[in-house]
Structure 1
């Protein structure tokens, strides 16, 4: 039995986690997706995980609050990445037993879910010599926070970092104001790419990665604010619009990398005044190899494909 004590500024709690195979089976489920296989995706038995080659990229997809392993963005992300490299192996994470609860309960379980994912990653390394540099985590909202905790735990267990985390508008409520070590932060992987689309509302407002990309300033997205002005009662729908735009933009950027070039700049205001006031460095929104650091900005359109 491992006892985790954590005191956050927002929510003090004591979290007890039984880190064994039955806990992982109970709380987190994993589906493996390999291209050109019958059934596309099959559930993994964590007690005896299937063989995974040690020379292909393995991507963990981690959903957010109220969602589960059938999240729509899972399949769109898989299809987009397979267009770039059909050797990708995907692991769909389902932690819906905790994510489909009230928000305060779900957010208090992100470290528990992350620890279970980390133990599975380490098991793959120990069993099949899957190198940590082949591991990529892509998480949306609370799932991005889960990804951060998984990265922390891998380091704790092995003193090594996974290769990359892509955090799609990481959850902000009850995370804003926390110490960096108690949330997603730049040290959770060799590269932590954060795409902000609803900062200050459903998303985290400040820097959280080695590189932070702010489409349209990172707070509200084109087309979403107009919907709010038409009907103030649709506030939650409007926030969801900007929040979910993170994974929609990411998928389009994977498919059309030349259309989503972000520019390094001091802030959004300077970028709006003139891009000439910004630095010369650019990065593609969906670049999964970049080692660039700092803040990057770009403009997008209000409807798919957003360019």
Structure 2
């Protein structure tokens, strides 16, 4: 009966919001903007900064209506999952035979079955003395498409030259209905954890760094949890790029990436409350531009959601490690008012692994996104890390 009621609620929400957007007019938008501005001024008085005022009103118009919708969807999804009402067909459940790990070099991508991950150490392009990054992309993505997270961050690490960069190819298991894709993160994470048990017998555990975007962040979170269950040890570091928010709630059937999943967990939040989770759950949580869902330079949630891994990618390039400096703070307004004091810490590749707390920072609307970029800045558009074929003429 509860499931029926929830499904009816979905229809009602869809109808209500659909009718809302159909009937909205420019007058309504202007009236809402005026009400927002008046309320904000009354609540904060003369303490408001111009930048914060602009960010608040922009997000109110572009992001907050979507936040309301996502909040309702998340509540419904969690309730449905708790009722155990979704039963995917066998072909929708991740099969170990369909999942592989890619060793990505500037010019080649070689795949190994996940259950034979240990074979990668014999690949001539794998250096057992170097660090190992294993990354997973997010919902509706594919490891083999161009211009994706794995390609972008992989190129950055290739530019550094000190890391073996591996990508998780999950086939189509997170390209299906979002709720089923969310459920699949558990099984995929477990399969990777099982593979890592043998892998770390050869590769030092302290060299492993897992990272993922959106649903990929939830995959590596489950990997860390299951690896601990299997071995009693913790993955040294897991980095989440705007972990998927809808359907993932701490302590529920699908629990979100949190500080207990690795020795150190850091999260870059760029679209909180819409595509990404809204609450801090890591050892170090970086809320870029405060806890607003729309990033500086973006006009929608999709752009903002992608920015999380793009910020990290920028930090990986040599000379950019300290371009994103954040301060321990609870809101953008407090930061703008100068009420947050203390040391600044880098967000990205150079984040100290003993860091604790919630951090706020601002970014530029265009590259370089890091506001502390120097003359030593390396652009992700540079040829560094790309495949350069020799001149055959």
Class of the TM-score when normalised by the shorter of the 2 chains: 0.7 to 0.9
Counterpart Cα distance in 2 of 1:135 and 1:32: 14
Q: Partners of 1:283 and 1:10 in 2: how far apart?
A: 40
What do the CA deviations read for 1:232-270 (whole angstroms, capped 9, x no partner)? xxxxxx110110011111111223223211111133331
* Post-superposition CA distance 1:169-202 (Å, at most 9, x none): 0000111465498221101111101000000000
Distance 1:196 1:53, change over 3 A: same
Alignment-derived partner of residue 303 in structure 1: 366
How far 1:279 sits from its partner (Å)? 3.2
Aligned positions, number:
276
Please say if residues 192 and 210 of structure 1, whose CA atoms lie closer than 8 Å, have aligned partners that are also in contact.
yes
Task: Return the structure number with greater strand share.
Answer: 1
The DSSP-based 3-state class of the residue aligned with 1:123 is helix
Query: Normalising by structure 1, what TM-score?
Result: 0.82
CA distance in 2, matches of 1:137, 1:239: 25
Structure 1 residue 8: deviation in Å?
A: 5.3
Q: Partner residue of 1:62?
A: 136
| d(CA) in 2 for partners of 1:190, 1:153 | 14
SS at match of 1:116: helix
- Where does residue 96 of structure 2 map in the other structure? 24
Shift of 1:288: 4.2
The answer to whether the Cα contact below 8 Å between 1:144 and 1:184 also exists between their aligned partners in 2 is: yes
In structure 2, the partner of 1:133 is 206
C-alpha contact 2:321 2:346 (8 A) present in aligned 1 = yes
The answer on whether the counterparts of 1:267 and 1:295 sit within 8 Å (CA) in structure 2 is: no
**Structure in which a larger fraction of residues adopt helix:** 2
Query: Is 113-122 or 255-264 further displaced after alignment?
Result: 255-264
Q: Does 1:190 align with 2:263?
A: yes
Structure 2 partner of 1:263: 327
**Could you say which residue in structure 2 is the equivalent of 1:294?**
357
The higher-RCO structure (CA 8 Å, 6+ apart) is 2
Find the aligned partners of 1:244 and 1:201 in 2 and give their Cα distance.
12
Q: 1:139, CA displacement in angstroms?
A: 0.2
Q: CA deviation at 1:54?
A: 4.5
* 1:90 match: secondary structure: strand
Whether 1:115 and 2:190 are equivalent positions in the alignment is: yes
- Over 3 Å counting, the alpha-carbon distance change for 1:170 and 1:25 in structure 2 is same
Query: Cα deviations across residues 63-109 of structure 1 (Å, max 9, x unaligned)?
Result: 1100011351212212212333x131111101132101010110011
- Asked if structure 2 preserves the Cα contact closer than 8 Å seen for 1:64 and 1:142, the reply is yes
In the other structure, the counterpart of 2:158 is 82
CA distance in 2, matches of 1:55, 1:182: 34
User: C-alpha distance in 2, partners of 1:9/1:159?
Assistant: 32
Aligned twin of 1:233:
none
Q: How far apart are the structure 1 equivalents of 2:368 and 2:257?
A: 29
Runs of 4+ with >6 A deviation: none
How far did 1:56 drift? 1.9
d(CA) in 1 for partners of 2:165 and 2:189?
A: 17
Aligned pairs for 1:1-307 (under 5 A) are 9-12=79-82, 13=84, 23-26=95-98, 28-34=99-105, 39-45=107-113, 46-47=115-116, 49-51=119-121, 54-70=128-144, 72-84=148-160, 86-126=161-201, 129-176=202-249, 178-179=251-252, 182-218=255-291, 219-224=293-298, 227=299, 238-255=300-317, 256-274=320-338, 277-288=339-350, 290=352, 291-306=354-369, 307=371
Unaligned runs of 5+ in 2: 1-76, 372-393
1:235 matched to which residue of 2?
A: none
Distance in 1 separating the partners of 2:205 and 2:253: 23
**Residues 76, 206 of structure 1: alpha-carbon distance in 2 compared, 3 angstrom cutoff:** same
- In structure 1, list runs of 5 or more residues that go unmatched: 1-6, 228-237
Give the whole-Å Cα distance in 1 for the aligned partners of 2:165 and 2:362.
30
Change (3 A) 1:118 1:223: same
